Amino acid sequence: MTFALQIVCVFGLIACGFFARKRRMVSAQGTGELAHLATDLIYPALIFVSIIQLSADDLIANALLPLLVMVIALVGFGLGLIAVRFLGCVPPQTARAFLFHCLMNNYLFLPLPLVLFLYGERGVALLVYSSVGYEIILWTLGVFLFTGKDASLGMRIRQMMSPPFIVLFGSLALVLVRDTFAIELRGIAAPLAESLIFVAQMLGQGTVAISVIVAGSRFAVLEMRTIRGWRIWLVSAIRLVIVPLILLPLLFWLPLDPMTRGILSIVAVMPSAMVSVIFSERYGGDSEFIAGGLLLTNLWAVITVPTFLAIVL
């Protein structure tokens, strides 16, 4: 029930973006600019605030979490590499969009309320830390899928050294240095740091809303023939059914504590990531296919996610 209500709220935000585009409150150019703003400013703020709430002990004790979520992403990508051979004659951008859907699911925004409900603030902190693995995949392999093999090495490095990627590892380094050397801010530095964190927190809270509004704007111009295409249904089946069927038994076979296993199980069954539309707009991918896959996987997730979680949790 919690997840179903959450999905309803998400579709409410999607409707805002949908009607904004239909009423010409936002244009195609405006949608792209919103995507650019989200990836280069708002999303990094969310990463910073989330990471600095952890301690160095948390990072060390749970180092396996980011590695395991990378496995979740790469299992989907491996299945996509097998399936993409059977897509027929499609443009390279469409094939890359297919692989991106297989690679990236909603690893933070949708799981967060469920983890909070089941495991409390401690579970949320671990979920945020686990997202480090996905961020590494997203800003390396994920960006490469959109830019393609024609991009030069220098261009790939510049794209990887994006604000979110830099902020992610900068925040991790900050936490390790802060806790290793027991650094405490004194005098005017303490309120300045608190003010910075407050501003970043306020800014980062807009990540989900802007991501979903951008998705809604894309849905407004989505051609229905796209969502009826069998390739969209194939990627939805991989993301929502095949990946969980492979990973959930594996997670129960591994010697993990119940909270870690539960968090990873929730992440493994999630639909496509809302940020997929933002990345497609930002890096010139097949936004039509991305938006169609995003819409269909989130619709079917209302059925598949509660079903899988009722079995394993």
Lowest mean pLDDT among 19-28, 150-159, 178-187, 294-303: 150-159
Question: What average pLDDT score do residues 26-38 get?
Answer: 84
Domain boundaries of the chain, sorted by first residue? 2-312
Report phi then psi at 274, rounded to 5: -60, -30
- Give the confidence band of 143 by pLDDT, cuts at 50, 70, 90: confident
Which pLDDT score is estimated for 38? Answer: 82
Lowest average pLDDT, out of 128-132, 181-185, 208-212, 223-227, goes to: 223-227
Closest to 272 (Cα-Cα) out of 287, 247, 291, 285? 291
Global pTM exceeds 0.85:
no
Q: SS3 for 80-131, per residue?
A: HHHHHHHCCCCCHHHHHHHHHHHHCECCCCCHHHHHHHHHHHHHHHHHHHHH
Under CATH, which number does the domain 2-312 receive?
1.20.1530.20
Contact partners, residue 118, CB within 8 Å, separation at least 6: 262, 266, 313
Where does the pLDDT of residue 4 fall: very low under 50, low under 70, confident under 90, or very high at 90 and above?
A: low
Residue in 272, 259, 265, 294 with CA at minimum distance from that of residue 62: 259
pLDDT(161) > 90: no
Res 300: pLDDT: 87
Three-class SS of 223-262: CHHHHHCHHHHHHHHHHHHHHHHHHHHHHHHCCCCHHHHH
> What pLDDT is recorded for position 40?
85
Cβ–Cβ under 8 Å, residues 294 and 274: yes
Nearest CA to 50 among 134, 132, 138? 132
| Overall average pLDDT of the 14-29 stretch | 87
pLDDT tops 80 at residue 257:
yes
